[in-house]
Amino acid sequence: MAPWRKHEFTHKLPGEHVYNGILFFGFSPPDTLRAVRDFTVREDDVFIATYPKAGTTWMQEIIWLIMHDGDFKGASETPVYFRSPFLEFKDEILNEVGLELANPMSSPRVIKTHLPYSMIPRHLQQHSCKTVVVFRNPKDLCVSYYHFYKSSSSMGNFQGSWEEFFEMFMTGHVDHGSWFDYTKSWWEVKDNPNVKVTFYEDMKRDLRKEVVELCSFLGKPLSNEIIDDIVRHCGFESMRRNPMTNHEDVYSINKEISPLMRKGTVGDWKNYFTVAQNELADYFYRRHLGDTGLQFTYEL
Ligand code: PPS
């Protein structure tokens, strides 16, 4: 065990397994991860690539609305996780099986994945459909993931301390593996014209600007009025109150412990990180991503 670590990791994710050297929860089983590689993409698909807790649901709602010309009625009738399938997810209780939802879905599909670049569908790596990557600074993301680990039975309702979770996150001992490896894998393809890298913090700073840029990247010119409506609809408070986006009916999330729409801010990490943890996080960042030129915003 590395000298800085104080905890043996005892927490087990339900059905956890290691695939391609990456830890996964049981809701991304090996057969699904294999099948994802053979998934056939369509020219007009849009993929949303995120590490968990980076602002995935936020981007799903925005892109679904852009691709469906601001169909707010449609968005009010079906939860976002059924409109925008999570490719490598398989939950028979919720009847949310990403591949089964995506395959028969009419175009344009908006598909979510938390997989690193090397594990996405082979066809997507060769195809010219669009992928929007959302990055979020790892400190806020780690805090968000900690709360999700505690509130979600799919994560095994983590009972350990913040300190232990911090160590798990830094070492990549969490569902979908190392944030550092994940981030590197997608940053390496940032110059592909079909990939657009966006940042949670930029969305917080100026959501309208981001929506306008997304419309242009996705080739969907929308009226100023629809863009304004999307920006309003996708504000944090609006999405928190909206049962179609806040995962209210998802059995695995205990909202009393923490709802999916928890805080939605930049800088919450300061309420959790000790000075030593902050220094360690910066050290890990320099070690893993220091030579990439990729920089994050940690406060607004
Ligand atoms: S998941 O389960 O991996 O798909 O989770 P994900 O959607 O990626 O991340 C959840 C965090 O995103 C925040 N969120 C938002 N922030 C600002 N504005 C809007 N509209 C918004 N929608 C979701 C959500 O609150 C979670 O972050 P934390 O920091 O926990 O609040």
The CATH number of residue 123's host domain is 3.40.50.300
Contact criterion met (CB below 8 Å) for 47 and 63: no
Query: What per-residue confidence (pLDDT) applies to 248?
Result: 87
Torsion angle (degrees, nearest 10) of CA 18, 40, 57, 74: -150
In a domain, residue 4? The reply is: no
In a domain, residue 119? The reply is: yes
In a domain, residue 270? The reply is: yes
Which one is catalytic: 7, 68, 114, 123? 114
Query: What per-residue confidence (pLDDT) applies to 93?
Result: 81
Query: What per-residue confidence (pLDDT) applies to 185?
Result: 98
In a domain, residue 7? The reply is: no
Q: Which helix (H) or strand (E) holds 203?
A: helix 200-205
Contacts of residue 27, Cβ cutoff 8 Å, sequence gap at least 6 = 14, 15, 89, 90, 91, 154
In a domain, residue 187? The reply is: yes
Is this prediction's pTM over 0.95?
yes
Query: What per-residue confidence (pLDDT) applies to 45?
Result: 98
Q: Domain span at residue 153? A: 17-289
Contact criterion met (CB below 8 Å) for 218 and 110: no
Q: Token pair of 174, please?
A: 């969490």
CA angle 295, 278, 272 (to 5 degrees): 110
Residue 264 Cβ inside 6 Å of ligand 1? The answer reads yes
Query: What per-residue confidence (pLDDT) applies to 239?
Result: 98
Residue 55 Cβ inside 6 Å of ligand 1? The answer reads yes
pLDDT tens digit at each of 300 positions of the chain:
888 999 999 999 999 999 999 999 999 999 999 999 999 999 999 999 999 999 999 999 999 999 999 999 999 999 999 999 999 999 988 788 999 999 999 999 999 999 999 999 999 999 889 999 999 999 999 999 999 999 999 999 999 999 999 999 999 999 999 999 999 999 999 999 999 999 999 999 999 999 999 999 999 999 999 999 999 999 999 999 999 999 988 889 999 999 999 999 999 999 999 999 999 999 999 999 999 999 999 999
Query: What per-residue confidence (pLDDT) applies to 249?
Result: 86
Number of domains in the chain: 1
Residue 239 Cβ inside 6 Å of ligand 1? The answer reads yes
In a domain, residue 50? The reply is: yes
CB neighbours (10 Å) of residue 45?
Answer: 23
In a domain, residue 233? The reply is: yes
Nearest atom within ligand 1 for CA of residue 147: 30
Q: How far is the CA of 263 from the centre of ligand 1 (A)?
A: 8
In a domain, residue 58? The reply is: yes
Paired residues of 279 in beta bridges: none
Q: Which amino acid is at 114?
A: H
Residue that is written with structure tokens 């550092």 in the block:
180
